[in-house]
């Protein structure tokens, strides 16, 4: 959290304040002051960009700028020095207006002064490029570290009327914990409700004795069938929960005319009846073609390393339903296989998965998954990504439907394709481009041959 620190020379370091939302750092976009400038209390000194918004940061000190910590484009962590201010010679009449007023507020325990409030000083006006958040500086006397409990025995008298809440961070904190600010007595100047007031109310509510033990809503009734969540079912549940918890997934879909793909498969199998090729093998080949064109989807997000890792080879997972649950056998380096080799590998992997004979190494390490849920007689789905992969292509049932061909209504073999992808690895343009390439190859298999 931001605060001040007095050095032996009388200068003060203003630390990058807590910008809320759990953010731990911010990038300097533009300094609004330079070394040697005189600043007043609450004057905007820098514009920073966080993961949430562009923010104007006001300085709680008045004086002369002696140092700027960091250049434009540099990332600064919360709690580290941002700007150093030296006091002016008040005896010579150099103290800017508002400095004494701020010191009075500081002695009263206030530091939550918003731009345009409290001291009457506003930030620099200019056209704003993006939505901005107001920053609430911490008291100058507070050093970085855990926030100490604030005394509430003798709060300042609250003004008549509704509680005054200036800070958006305070409003959000109260809302998240179900606290009505109107019930609080603000300890800030003029009865302003501060963050410490909300935290004190929260602490008091937490310390209050519970009305009684909460009922166990998970307890089953006597006639319920209880199935322990163990073994592979538990592993599946844990992995799917982690995927939904960590991956910001998006699903896009399109209906396609698969008539030509079905006819292509029929022609291949008529020419080589002893070595049949499945529709799934053709779809796998199309996926591999799409991933070669859009490798961004053949990736994973390394959250600890804060990076995206694109895999050189395609380790294709095939979702398979078994008596033991849903498993995903992996065909390593699938892009090196011919379409006929893909058909053989797919048949072998799914059969072994259903028999429960696949070793663990064959069930991990996938980089992209193909899920044919059409075998269950459904048209569409929004499946959960197989963590830590970044995308999954789903295929619905192929069924006769009316379709317009060359301006005439005809009965065609139609299926729905859906792509669920991790929005961290790419945007809609890449995802849409991949799905459109797959759809085009399904409708015109000659395009697939041209790209092999």
Cis amide linkage into residue 388, ω under 30° from 0: yes
Lowest mean pLDDT among 107-116, 367-376, 387-396: 107-116
pLDDT at position 145 is: 46
Q: Report the distance separating Cα 213 and Cα 192, nearest Å.
A: 37
Token pair 């959960």: residue: 384
* Tens-digit pLDDT profile for residues 136-192: 444 444 444 444 444 444 444 444 455 576 566 777 778 878 888 888 888 876 777
pLDDT at position 2 is: 45
Structure tokens belonging to residue 282 = 């053709």
DSSP character string of 49-115: E-SS-EEEEEES--EEEEEE-S-TT-EEETTSEEEEEE---GGGT-PPTTHHHHHHHHHTT-----T
DSSP character string of 198-224: HHHHHHHHHHSPPSSPPP-TTPPPTTP
User: CA 153 → CA 160, 187, 197, 200, distances in Å?
Assistant: 20, 11, 12, 11
List 121, 387, 423, 437, catalytic entry: 423
Non-local (6+) Cβ contacts of 286 within 8 A are 438, 441, 442, 448
User: Is 387 a known active-site residue?
Assistant: no
* Tens-digit pLDDT profile for residues 68-119: 999 988 888 888 999 999 998 743 445 444 444 444 433 333 333 333 333 3
Q: What is the largest CA-CA distance in the chain?
A: 101
Q: Report the distance separating Cα 103 and Cα 62, nearest Å.
A: 10
Q: pTM score, two decimals? A: 0.55
Average pLDDT of 375-382?
91
Distance, CA of 218 to chain centre = 30
Nearest Cα to 4, choosing from 20, 17, 18, 22? 17
Per-state percent for the chain, helix, strand, coil, to nearest 5: 30, 25, 45
DSSP 389: B
Residue 289 has pLDDT above 80, yes or no: yes
Residue 56's Cβ-count burial label (10 Å; 0-12, 13-18, 19+) is buried
pLDDT at position 395 is: 97
Structure tokens belonging to residue 382 = 């929004």
- The answer to whether 295 and 310 are in contact (CB under 8 A) is yes
Q: Report the distance separating Cα 43 and Cα 134, nearest Å.
A: 12
Residue 235 has pLDDT above 90, yes or no: no
- The answer to whether 299 and 425 are in contact (CB under 8 A) is yes
């Amino acid at each position: 959290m931001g605060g001040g620190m007095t050095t032996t020379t009388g200068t003060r370091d203003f630390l990058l304040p807590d910008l809320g939302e759990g953010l731990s750092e911010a990038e300097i976009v533009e300094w609004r002051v330079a070394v040697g400038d005189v600043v007043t209390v609450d004057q905007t000194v820098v514009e920073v960009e966080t993961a949430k918004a562009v923010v104007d940061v006001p300085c709680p000190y008045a004086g002369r700028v002696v140092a700027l910590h960091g250049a434009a484009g540099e990332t600064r962590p919360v709690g580290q020095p941002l700007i150093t201010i030296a006091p002016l010679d008040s005896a010579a009449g150099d103290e800017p207006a508002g400095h004494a007023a701020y010191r009075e507020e500081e002695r009263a325990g206030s530091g939550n002064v918003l731009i345009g409030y409290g001291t009457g000083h506003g930030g620099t006006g200019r056209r704003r490029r993006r939505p901005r958040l107001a920053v609430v500086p911490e008291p100058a006397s507070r050093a970085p570290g855990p926030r100490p409990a604030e005394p509430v025995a003798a709060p300042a008298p609250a003004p008549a009327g509704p509680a005054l809440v200036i800070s958006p961070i305070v409003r959000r904190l109260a809302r998240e914990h179900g606290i009505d600010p109107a019930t609080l007595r603000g300890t800030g100047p003029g009865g302003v409700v501060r963050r410490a007031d909300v935290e004190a109310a929260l602490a008091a509510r937490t310390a209050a004795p519970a009305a009684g033990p909460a009922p166990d809503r998970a307890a089953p009734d006597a006639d319920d069938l209880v199935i322990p969540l163990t073994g592979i079912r538990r592993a599946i549940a844990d992995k799917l929960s982690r995927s939904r918890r960590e991956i910001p997934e998006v699903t896009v879909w399109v209906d396609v005319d698969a008539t030509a793909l079905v006819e292509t498969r029929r022609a291949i199998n008529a020419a080589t009846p002893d070595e049949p090729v499945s529709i799934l093998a053709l779809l796998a080949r199309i996926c591999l073609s799409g991933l070669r064109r859009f490798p961004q989807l053949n990736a994973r997000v390394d959250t600890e390393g804060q990076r995206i890792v694109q895999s050189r080879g395609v380790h294709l997972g095939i979702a398979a339903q078994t008596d033991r649950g849903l498993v995903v056998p992996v065909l390593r380096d699938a892009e090196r296989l011919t379409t006929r080799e893909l058909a053989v590998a797919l048949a072998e992997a799914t059969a072994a998965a259903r028999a429960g004979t696949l070793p663990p190494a064959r069930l991990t390490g996938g980089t992209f998954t193909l899920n044919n849920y059409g075998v269950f007689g459904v048209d569409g789905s929004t499946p959960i990504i197989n963590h830590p992969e970044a995308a999954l292509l789903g295929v619905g049932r192929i069924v006769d439907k009316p379709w317009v061909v060359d301006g005439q209504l005809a009965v065609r073999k139609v299926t729905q394709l859906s792509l669920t992808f991790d929005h961290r690895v790419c945007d809609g343009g890449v995802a849409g481009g991949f799905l459109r390439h797959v759809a085009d190859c399904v409708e015109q298999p000659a395009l697939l041959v041209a790209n092999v």
